[in-house]
């Protein structure tokens, strides 16, 4: 776990802070409704439980460089940004650097602050039908309770026809040489060169999240299935650990462990990658169909602890 002693005394104007006296969370509403930092303060130094955004990332409103951003109205990639639903072809905008319209809209757009209290902030994003031909509303309720972080996320269909959907969170965690992850799962999706799923297989014997693995020894960009909706991240050299508990329908865990990077991701999500294109395969893709006016929600709790 990193310590950041170079704490900026004056908060960046793009950020809003909440605190419960133990922890502080900074939120960047204009940067995709992202969390910019989640830290405890000890003896004037910061203990960062999520990878903190730097000042440049905050200024350029770069959600992908934040501590955690929301995934709506789906997680991960859609092949070519295209799928068929209810006799309609949906074609999302694509670019060479983003050919599969990764992670949907929420992290690309500003969110509105609906309420901000000492330990809670409520954010809203409203999408008006465009290339995604449904209007919907997403909300995040970000709260601090006894030093723990709880993020509740919801999606409501505002259109008059059913809408396919998925959602989740994309948190980044500090990675050290000894960082260890343990998360009960039963399977995983192998992927092609575009990180799109090809075959459902058992977890790798040498790095099975159920028994645990060291982040520095893996190279995952992988959707795991049969997740028990709990995980534990340990930084043994610092005597620290973080427990993650998610609610249904966040039944899948994406692990992203890029070699050599000072961060990794463990993402609680409701759908597999390219879920909307695989719904006829007889597999559990996690694709949610929201009727007009229907809402689905779930929360994720992050509970830190450390040796005294």
CA atoms within 13 A on the CB side of 131: 10
Give the pLDDT mean for 203-216.
96
**CA distance readout (Å), 60 to 65, 70, 204, 243, 280:** 10, 18, 39, 31, 40
- pLDDT at position 7 is 38
Q: How far apart are CA 254 and CA 62, in angstroms?
A: 21
pLDDT tens digits, 3-34? 333 333 467 889 999 999 999 999 999 999 99
Residue 58 has a pLDDT of: 97
The pair of three-digit structure tokens given for residue 186, joined into one six-digit string: 């039963």
Contacts of 60 (CB under 8 A, 6+ apart): none
Residue 159: C-alpha distances to residues 23, 168, 186, 221 (Å): 39, 21, 36, 33
Domains contained in the chain, CATH given: 3-306 (2.70.98.10)
Q: What is the pLDDT of residues 65-95, one digit of tens each?
A: 999 999 999 999 999 999 999 999 999 998 9
Share of the chain above pLDDT 70, in %: 96
C-alpha–C-alpha distance, residues 127 and 158, integer Å: 9
pLDDT at 10: 65
CA distances from 35 to 3, 26, 45, 258 (A): 18, 6, 19, 21
Residue 270 three-state SS: coil
Assess contact for 265 and 256: CB atoms under 8 A: yes
pLDDT value for 152:
98
Q: Which residue has the higher pLDDT, 272 or 45?
A: 272
pLDDT, one tens digit per residue, over 90-147 is 999 989 999 999 999 999 999 999 999 999 999 999 999 999 999 999 999 999 999 9
Span 230-259, average pLDDT: 98
What is the Cβ-side half-sphere exposure of residue 36, based on CA atoms within 13 angstroms?
24
pLDDT at residue 47, rounded to an integer = 96
Please tell me the distance from the alpha carbon of residue 204 to that of residue 268, in angstroms, as a whole number: 20
Evaluate the omega torsion of the peptide bond into residue 95 and state whether it is cis, within 30 degrees of 0.
Answer: no
User: Max alpha carbon distance in the chain (Å)?
Assistant: 60
Joined tokens for residue 205: 């014997």
Q: What is the pLDDT of residue 120?
A: 98
* Cβ-based neighbours of 91, under 8 Å, separated by 6 or more: 81, 82, 131
**143-199, pLDDT tens digit by residue?**
999 999 999 999 999 999 999 999 999 999 999 999 999 999 999 999 999 999 999
The pTM score is: 0.95
Q: How many residues does the chain have?
A: 308
The pair of three-digit structure tokens given for residue 107, joined into one six-digit string: 């992290």
Rounded Cα gap, residues 141 and 120, in angstroms: 7
Q: What is the mean pLDDT of the chain?
A: 95
Q: Are 182 and 212 in contact (CB under 8 A)?
A: yes
CB 225, CB 188: distance < 8 Å: yes
pLDDT at 296: 98
Backbone dihedral angles phi then psi of residue 226, each to the nearest 5 degrees: 65, 25
């Amino acid at each position: 776990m990193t310590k950041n002693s170079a704490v900026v005394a004056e908060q960046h104007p793009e950020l809003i802070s909440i605190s419960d006296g133990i922890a502080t969370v900074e939120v960047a509403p204009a940067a995709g409704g992202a969390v910019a930092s989640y830290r405890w303060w000890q003896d004037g130094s910061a203990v960062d439980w999520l990878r903190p955004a730097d000042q440049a990332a905050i200024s350029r409103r770069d959600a992908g460089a934040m501590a955690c951003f929301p995934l709506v109205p789906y997680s991960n990639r859609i092949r070519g940004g295209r799928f068929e639903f209810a006799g309609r072809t949906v074609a999302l905008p694509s670019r060479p650097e983003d050919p599969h319209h990764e992670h949907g809209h929420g992290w690309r757009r500003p969110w509105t602050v609906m309420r901000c209290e000492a330990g809670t902030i409520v954010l809203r994003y409203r999408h008006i039908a465009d290339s995604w031909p449904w209007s919907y509303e997403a909300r995040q309720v970000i709260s601090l309770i006894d030093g723990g972080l709880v993020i509740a996320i919801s999606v409501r269909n505002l259109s008059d026809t059913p809408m396919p959907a998925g959602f989740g969170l994309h948190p980044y965690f500090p990675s050290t040489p000894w960082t260890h992850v343990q998360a009960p799962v039963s399977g995983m999706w192998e992927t092609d060169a575009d990180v799109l799923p090809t075959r459902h297989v058992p977890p790798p014997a040498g790095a099975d999240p159920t028994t645990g693995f060291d982040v520095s020894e893996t190279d995952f960009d992988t959707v795991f299935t049969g997740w028990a909706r709990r995980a534990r991240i340990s930084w043994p050299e610092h005597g620290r650990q973080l427990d993650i508990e998610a609610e249904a329908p966040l039944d899948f865990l994406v692990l992203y462990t890029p070699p050599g990077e000072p961060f990794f991701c463990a993402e609680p999500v409701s759908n597999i990658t390219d879920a909307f294109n695989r719904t006829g395969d007889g597999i559990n893709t996690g694709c949610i169909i929201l009727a007009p006016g229907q809402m689905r929600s779930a929360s994720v709790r992050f509970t830190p602890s450390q040796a005294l």
